[in-house]
Homo-oligomer: A and B are copies of this chain.
Amino acid sequence: MNSIPDDLDTPDIMVDLDVLRRNIDRMATALRAKGLRLRPHAKTHKMPEIAELQLAAGAVGLTVATIGEAEVFADHGAADLFIAYPLWVGPRQAERLRRLSTRVRIAIGTDSVEAVEAAGRQLGDAAGDIEILVEIDSGHHRSGVRPAAAVAVARAAAAAGFRVAGVFTFPGHGYAPGMPEKATQEEEQALGHATELLGAAGFDVTRVSGGSTPTAELAGASVITEVRPGVYVFGDAQQLELGRCAMADIALTVAATVVGRHEGDDTAPRRVVLDAGSKVLGGDRPAWATGYGRLMDHPEARITALSEHHATVLWPDGGGLPALGERLRVIPNHVCVAVNLVDDLAVVSGGKVVDRWLVAARGRNG
């Protein structure tokens, strides 16, 4: 499939069904071979159809980021959900967690004594139906406690009535060139250390959860029991530039039209302008990225500026500029934020649109 179906208007998001299935199977097979459980992060796709493919390929359950995402996937039949987030639980969040706990196996994250005590007070007896994983900071320095502080948090969780199941981390510092290997090592060290301390303190640690797309396939099964990659289903320009996927692994692209074509002069660069901007690609651009996304069929071109409805694409001197009206496939930098910008997307196979899938959990931020 190398073209954009005629019946699609631009901009629109397309998922190549065959590449998607291949990505799902490859990750499942790789992790099975290592004895690692796969609990994919559904925030990437927010779509029940993709969750079903992941579960059918052997995923043990789903990871989500919010109570709202958990509700959507529970409504669509998911049975085992981990909200990998240090939730602050007020009365309304407690009521929603209580309802979830009656119909699915549910685990939540925490990284402080205060937050888990507050959650316990709000949940009361229902805390006993919810598993806790203590979040560990393995080097990303966002959420999480250092391993040495994990026991205090776990004891507070147990005292609040939760069942302490284990620990988790997000090795987000793996998202930089040359960093996936280092982040994987630090993840294993931090989780290993925390697991050892919790074991020594008498906790039965059954879940040691790590991983991200850049690190999941590098992780060993020595300490870690499960990984939570998300982006691997689609791939994106970040993974491409990190060397964690190839062009052939890209399952999601934004169909765009050339609306501007400028040969350039001494004051303005040679460029085309596409009708896909930050409101469909997302505005993420890490400092190490070469642009705001990549073009699937023109690897030398660079998106040097992004407005809400314009991508400005500098074109290499050698190649002729594409024609006005030509349609090009754009690979977003960060696919999780792109998917969250559309109500539904086109499922493509054999060059045709075979379905449209709703982004059922779009916008479920809380």
Contact = CB atoms under 8 A, between A and B. Distances in A.
Interface of A: 9-12, 43, 65-66, 85-88, 90, 92-93, 111-112, 114-115, 118, 137, 141-143, 146, 172, 257-261, 265, 267-269, 271, 273, 275, 278-280, 282-285, 305, 307-310, 312, 324-325, 334, 336-337, 340-343, 363, 365-366
A308 B283 contact: no
A308 B283 CA distance: 12
Contacts of A363: 279, 341-343
A261 B111 CA distance: 9
A278 B284 contact: yes
A142 B307 contact: yes
A142 B307 CA distance: 9
A309 B341 contact: no
A337 B305 contact: no
Contacts of A118: 324-325
A260 B86 contact: yes
B142 A310 contact: yes
A259 B88 contact: yes
A172 to B, nearest CB: 7
A259 B341 contact: no
A283 B312 CA distance: 18
B307 A86 contact: no
Given A9-B366, A114-B325, 10 more contacts: A9-B90, A12-B366, A88-B275, A88-B325, A137-B268, A141-B267, A141-B271, A143-B260, A309-B365, A340-B341
Contacts of A337: 278-279, 283, 308
Nearest to A264: B141
A153 to B, nearest CB: 12
A112 B272 CA distance: 12
A65 B308 contact: yes
A261 B112 contact: yes
A43 B258 CA distance: 21
Given A11-B365, A260-B111, A366-B9, A283 B280 contact: no
Contacts of A9: 90, 92-93, 366
Top-6 shortest CB links A-B: A283-B283, A141-B268, A283-B284, A143-B260, A88-B259, A114-B324
B324 A336 contact: no
Given A115-B259, A269-B141, A309-B85, A279 B340 contact: yes
Contacts of A143: 259-260, 273, 310
B309 A258 contact: no
A148 to B, nearest CB: 11
Nearest to A115: B324
A112 B321 CA distance: 15
A365 B279 contact: yes
A86 B336 contact: no
Nearest to A261: B112
Nearest to A87: B259
Contacts of A269: 141
A294 to B, nearest CB: 17
A268 to B, nearest CB: 4
A190 to B, nearest CB: 11
Nearest to A325: B88
A142 B271 CA distance: 9
Nearest to A68: B9
13 contacts: A86-B259, A88-B325, A115-B324, A137-B268, A141-B267, A142-B305, A146-B265, A146-B267, A278-B337, A283-B337, A340-B341, A341-B365, A343-B363
